[in-house]
Structure 1
């Protein structure tokens, strides 16, 4: 496999490892890997929750010493923890990898099983990639590669137009509705998805990240002509940001709660297109490391302020929420859970009550989403222990200096000021 190994490939990601995964998944020891090509699955700056590698393996089956005449290809994605020790510890303490493992191996199969029971004979495309069963390691997730199936990402810097946003939010609503039906059947399944990231116990981790990041943003914004006042406004929310974000993500009694994707942004949504007219036909989700059981408004706020194009947010926000609400209500009714449906007015109220989550999302993540290659956020070099000891440059400093971020975020500042959040 040497000719197919990229310089960034982990030492453990070998031909033997790939062969063992495929053998266990297909339940045969006759499978042989002839060769495999291993490459980074995404560009630098396009994924912040782990290492992603795309593996294209040429395989054949050996029976009684005789090899299969024609080889076949298997395309998989291998996801593992990041290389930086400090960042690995942060993710480990938050339980994000265990959470994602449980999503793929317990929750999603339970959702699809429930769907078949509730709607027998109805074929509904899965909302996620298939996971490969493996007992080899608890720190590696192996998924089907959606690219050969026609799914692909949209350039994060360009963000999503109205058509893409509608397809994504309809699918998100179906996922949320399935989680409601699953919780209705077995509430204990949601116990593993109580908030694990923004919690009082993690204040010692959140504060050194969130407050300095907001301070860095304030220093950038106050240099923008006619926007100087926002520097102090951002510093003011920085002082209480950790307490407020911990409070805003909490589920509320007597309100609709769903299993949130948790990181619902453009790079975690893959789209499939009509081969002739290019129309968006469907969407699948990846990356469930910070899934949480709480208000659906959290996923919506996160998506709108990271992934929707400027004109979509400005002109079609209400339309997007209506599309989401219609899909949610319809799916709940199909699943026999119409009693949990909320009115559109109640959804709008949830959005208002969780608006601070949208503000913090825009302040802390939008810069990374819009960053050009020269501005990309490098978590390993800037979040590492050595960099922090040496007073290294903030990971977001280059991103906040980007022209694309400045153009979009100036409108956000006015919007959040008008909403009374700044």
Structure 2
């Protein structure tokens, strides 16, 4: 983004006026002066959009000349400006997806809830996804005391209190989505009702004339790094890499991802967030500034219809470390399931699947999804400022290209070789992946979950 650009010019005044009118309940809004807009996020926190915190002066048509100017504060998500970001945003149709979620899905959730359970998302005042003026106008949660947790969790892992809050919020979201789905006409599916989210944003088969899914390249480059590192790890990882067994198993990586994110044939599906991790959650804290008490879920640009385990495992494997999951996984799954079922009971809706069936799927094939996703994202996230600088202006075109085209491969290998702490975390990450995809060692290739149809 050009540092000289007036960020307030990134949105149409007439759209902002409509959004403020929706926010205030007064449709006759007259904007005054220059729109004050500042970056709300930094680095790659919003790599398919530019998120702005906006403060605008206005009057209504009923205001007298002597009335002091009113001010409105809101957050506006606008289209990206860097070429590689633009490509990804358009290829994944992120504004269309988020627009469908806020315009069509959330009202159904609220109707199903009838005010008995709050939908854990920010208010959306206006969602435009016309391809030219793409923008999402939302409430500024910071004005209500919500904030994004410290990014140190990306290296150290999240603590139990934040995880409990996140699982409970996800349970409410999924439950309200289940209730919303039940409001659709009999025999009409979510995929038919919302065709714009029927095709996954990042993991799909390329159709004629379409570009190769950018995420596929990210996956392939990421696991080239995994294979290289395996050769330095004693035991199964080294043996699997040097024998060629790992290479054979990895042929099923992309097909497995496509299989895992498709709607479950057993019908255990929800309208899922699609990219559920702590960067897409804002939290309110007790007066001590430490104890989390409420959460709102953000950024529905990858919304998908799939098994609820996809969201659960995405969060668990990106936001927590293995020793933490070994200790708390079961209790956090209970927090999620109890929140989901309690929400459905509160709005007089039946429970769609048992805890036993859900847990069986989590410990079964969806564990594979978790270890794949963590080995793609965590090596980059653990780079810290090198991956996601706190100053948004430091995310240049070259850095985005490195992210999208190589998954920061050279930076990961360089850090692995030079930083013992980083290396130790990577070793744990990769060992878990190899153990899952080769559950019985080198002789279990045919039993690898990556090669199951």
TM over 0.5: yes
User: Do structure 1's residue 31 and structure 2's residue 30 form an aligned pair?
Assistant: yes
2 CA distance for matches of 1:252 and 1:360? 19
Shift of the alpha carbon at 1:149? 0.6
* Cα distance change of structure 1 residues 268 and 58 upon mapping to structure 2, 3 Å threshold: same
User: Do structure 1's residue 20 and structure 2's residue 17 form an aligned pair?
Assistant: yes
- CA-based RMSD of the aligned residues comes to 3.3
Shift of the alpha carbon at 1:142? 1.2
2:198 is aligned, of 194, 198, 216, to: 194
| Structure 1 range deviating more: 129-138 or 91-100 | 129-138
* Cα distance change of structure 1 residues 9 and 266 upon mapping to structure 2, 3 Å threshold: farther
Residue pair 2:99, 2:127 contacting (<8 A) in 1 also: no
2 CA distance for matches of 1:222 and 1:417? 12
- Residues 207-261 of structure 1, C-alpha deviation per residue, up to 9 Å, x if partnerless? 4332123213433554568865575676555433221211121222224111111
* Cα distance change of structure 1 residues 252 and 160 upon mapping to structure 2, 3 Å threshold: same
Shift of the alpha carbon at 1:314? 3.0
- Residues 353-402 of structure 1, C-alpha deviation per residue, up to 9 Å, x if partnerless? 12221122111111333332133385842454xx79xx986534325626
* Cα distance change of structure 1 residues 209 and 417 upon mapping to structure 2, 3 Å threshold: closer
Shift of the alpha carbon at 1:286? 0.5
The two structures have a TM-score, normalised by structure 2, of 0.79
Aligned length, in residue pairs:
408
Shift of the alpha carbon at 1:131? 0.9
Shift of the alpha carbon at 1:164? 0.7
User: Which residue does the alignment assign to 1:128?
Assistant: 121
**Residues 22-421 of structure 1 mapped to structure 2, 5 A cutoff:** 22=19, 24-25=21-22, 26=24, 27-61=26-60, 63=62, 66-69=65-68, 71-116=69-114, 122=116, 124-133=117-126, 138-158=133-153, 159-186=157-184, 187-191=188-192, 192=194, 193-196=197-200, 197-201=202-206, 204-205=212-213, 206-220=215-229, 222=231, 228=238, 235-276=247-288, 278-309=290-321, 311-376=323-388, 378=395, 380-382=397-399, 384=401, 394-399=407-412, 401=415, 403=419, 405-421=422-438
Residue pair 1:15, 1:33 contacting (<8 A) in 2 also: no
Residue pair 1:61, 1:67 contacting (<8 A) in 2 also: no
Q: Unpaired runs of 5+ in structure 1? A: none
Q: Unpaired runs of 5+ in structure 2? A: 390-394, 440-453
* Cα distance change of structure 1 residues 74 and 362 upon mapping to structure 2, 3 Å threshold: same
Residue pair 2:313, 2:367 contacting (<8 A) in 1 also: yes
Q: Secondary structure at the match of 1:107?
A: helix
1 CA distance for matches of 2:422 and 2:15? 40
- Residues 32-64 of structure 1, C-alpha deviation per residue, up to 9 Å, x if partnerless? 334543221112132222211111234444647
